[in-house]
Structure 1
């Protein structure tokens, strides 16, 4: 009876815990709010005692984007980035009464809903710091407008932001504090919305509006993309990784302020990259880049729409074999390649490929597909002994080292 009562209370409060690492909450609108529903899912890495920040992934407009919204918290590649810095990963599902702008303009209540959600999540997860830690923002389309609103409303809490195909920085009330926040504006070369070609130029105009005054902002146009995210994460994750390493503080929640020395620049017209000391004028034509490696990544991305990788993915660990009802169940654990994800796991018996377990891809909205991945391989028992090993293969086609073997013995 106590358990049943607890479940009822959690349902009434809009709270539901999916697993030990996932927590869901919902925030009901108040009278003046323009949104109908606001739901949030957070992933918290284990066994982290204290969360240092939250990566917030905000979906865009439309039913498909909304339906995929919460699943951004289930994205294994973004989880790997969050885990690297002891950060949480947050996905949302926001619905307006009529227009998408009712939720992506935070004045409609979605900004306050986020704060309420973090308060609830802090309580049910026993991570009280979730109310205070800084945010790294990513948003697509309508979500990019939302990210821009959050950036301008709470610049002191934002570690960095990546608005992809949206956001109007040049229409906002002037706010000099946002100049100190690294922002990566992204769009596709053929970025059409409802048949209109305005997103790319709007993105450039947003970038220029503050870059000309020294904002540490970047811009990256994918030459092969439309409004969908395509392979943008191959650069976006690398860029955010570099910025988080510079901005996250070990002493308190205030992001570290970056100076103007030691960084690199990328030219929007020529795709040249240079150190900051080499560029004397016309700063607005050059995007800010945190270091030489990211500058080279940026140059490759704006020319090819992709960032190549030469490093192997992590080795699968803790292989285990169980037998049940005439089947053999092979399970394992694995870290995820931050730069290139995991395309598949290749299963071998005595060095002969016996099966493939597919990893997690991403869709138009950059949401994960499928949502949940089980690191297991099930097959019918065969009257054949052998040494089982597994290797990871990332989305660049690079294979990692084989795991330690486990002997599959049937007699």
Structure 2
């Protein structure tokens, strides 16, 4: 798709920025003459700008207008970064603002499809990874984002490797003509349908999507489709801990380990392998995962004294995909100094699948002018602690 990059470059929010961990880029795409959204923001991250991008994980929010200040994109989330890092994938987060209704962006004809290709072309150019423009997609959608993803699958079936739908799609899966089109295209595509148990009751405002989703699920499974359904027993429409399912489902696909042969038994989900089957059973019962082992990989910590004497600390955390992240702990002179943590009872993600506020910082300053030594550890969802990072001494 052709775009006028000389025009779009006038709307860049942040030029090329080397983050402490990887390459982080942002872009604002204004609407075209016939587009229905007010404007679109895109956030992009890759772990290593020197490596080819093998896939693009597109994380699409729901119908409420994007609010990156309150719900930052997962390009800054350590858990999603761990998945992308493992598979040399990019993270791409579109964020739309509209005047009235969700279909002003989640209908690809509203301009959102064109905006996506504009962003891909721009990020490919600025990251110097031309293959990004044609890299396959892994689609994650929440509510209205699921609706957008389903439509994008029908438009670009050969481009999609896998998709995860967190609710939504009643305007697609509730229409027989759409299901008839979607079914043959998506039958062999690994799909994950994630729903909250409380969405299944008529009193829920999201009950409208329950039967359409189940109809699409049954039809796909009856055709031998590679579709898994998981019901989150603790949630309604919020994402909460459901990323455990999406991230590990995508990991199975991207690792080439989604090899289980699908049956045509509509009463049983397709589970890509035995490892994911065990995770599915645990999550279906508990609404979360409790890793049996502590994280094996230590975090990386950097510390540098600034000209004014303060010490700036930055870090990189790579949590286990089945463990997630609950706390980041900075130790000074052998004692716990800062504990950036969510409560043991909190979900590991917000209702929109953003990083919880306590875990968002990626750097901090120590105003002490004294000599100190630092290490960093982190806790997974079960509060298992990682090994200490290599110690750093700042004179």
TM-score by length of 1: 0.80
In the other structure, the counterpart of 2:14 is 16
Name the SS for the 1:285 alignment partner. Answer: coil
Whole-Å separation in 2 of the counterparts to 1:72 and 1:399:
23
Q: CA deviation at 1:97?
A: 4.1
The question of whether the paired residues in 2 share the 8 Å contact of 1:60 and 1:66 is answered with no
Post-superposition offset of 1:387: 5.4
**Distance in 2 (alpha carbons) for counterparts of 1:39 and 1:53:** 20
* Shift, 1:16, TM fit: 3.4
Q: Following superposition of structure 1 onto structure 2, how do residues 249-398 of structure 1 map, counting pairs within 5 Å?
A: 262-263=259-260, 283-313=265-295, 314-320=297-303, 322=305, 325=308, 327-349=310-332, 351-358=334-341, 362-370=349-357, 372-376=360-364, 378-381=366-369, 388-398=374-384
1:67 to 1:157, Cα distance in 2 relative to 1, 3 A = farther
TM superposition shift of 1:69: 6.8
Supply the distance in 1 between the matched residues of 2:268 and 2:51 (Cα, whole angstroms): 40
The 10-residue stretch of structure 1 (56-65 or 131-140) with the greater mean CA deviation from structure 2: 56-65
1:139 and 2:146 are equivalent in the alignment: no
Q: Give the secondary-structure state (helix, strand or coil) at the position aligned to 1:181.
A: coil
State whether residues 75 and 93 of structure 2, in contact with CA within 8 Å, keep that contact through their aligned partners in structure 1. Answer: yes
Gaps of 5+ in 2: 1-5
| Distance in 2 between residues matched to 1:223 and 1:99, nearest whole Å | 30
1:169 match: 173
The 1:328–1:400 alpha-carbon spacing in structure 2 relative to 1, beyond 3 Å, is: same
- 1:65–1:240 Cα change, 3 Å: farther
| Shift of residue 304, structure 1, vs aligned partner | 1.1
Query: What is the CA-CA distance between 1:330 and the residue it aligns to?
Result: 4.6
Aligned to 2:3: none
Worse-matched range after superposition: 17-26 or 128-137: 17-26
Partners of 1:70 and 1:196 in 2: CA distance: 24
SS of aligned partner of 1:180: coil
CA distance in 1, matches of 2:275, 2:206: 35
Looking at structure 2, the residues matched to 354 and 318 of structure 1 have their Cα atoms a distance apart, in angstroms, of: 14
Rounded Cα–Cα distance in structure 2 between residues aligned with 1:98 and 1:194: 23
Unaligned regions of 5+ residues in structure 1, if any?
1-7, 248-257, 265-275
Equivalence for 1:253: none
1:404 equivalent among 376, 384, 390: 390
**Aligned position for 1:234:** 244
Structural mapping, 1:42-57, within 5 Å: 42-57=44-59
Quick check: 1:392–1:400 contact (8 Å CA) kept in 2?
yes
| TM-score, scaled relative to structure 2 | 0.83
Larger radius of gyration: 1
- Structure 1 position 9, deviation (Å): 7.2
1:203 aligns with 2:205: no
Residue aligning to 2:104: 102
**Compared CA separation, residues 332 and 130, structure 1 to 2 (3 A):** closer
